[in-house]
Amino acid sequence: MKPITPEESKLGFVGIGYMGRPIARRLLEFGFKLTAYDRDHSKAQELLRYGSSVAKSISELAASCDVILSCLPSDEAVLDIYRGPDGAFAHTSPGSVIVDMSTVYPETSRELSKLGSERGIEVLDVTISGSVPAAEQGSLTLFGGGDQRCFDAAESIFRAIARKYFYLGPIGSGATMKLVVNTLLGTGMQAIAEAVALGEKAGLDRHRLLDVLSETAVVAPAHLGKLQRAMNGDYSPQFPLRLMNKDFGLIFYLAAAVGARMPATEAAFEVNARQSEQGQEQDFSAVILQMEKQAHLEMEKSS
- The residues assigned a catalytic role are 178
Quick count: other Cβ atoms within 10 Å of Cβ 66?
17
Query: Do 265 and 251 contact (CB within 8 A), yes or no?
Result: yes
Q: From the DSSP assignment, how many helices (H) and strands (E) are in the chain?
A: 14, 8
Helix or strand run (H / E) with residue 70: strand 67-70
Quick count: other Cβ atoms within 10 Å of Cβ 116?
24
What is Dmax (Cα atoms) for the chain? 70
Strand-by-strand arrangement of the 33-37 sheet: 53-54, 33-37, 10-14, 67-70, 97-100, 122-129, 140-145, 162-169
Output the DSSP codes for 85-134: TTSSGGGSPTT-EEEE-S---HHHHHHHHHHHHTTT-EEEEEEEES-HHH
Query: Do 209 and 259 contact (CB within 8 A), yes or no?
Result: no
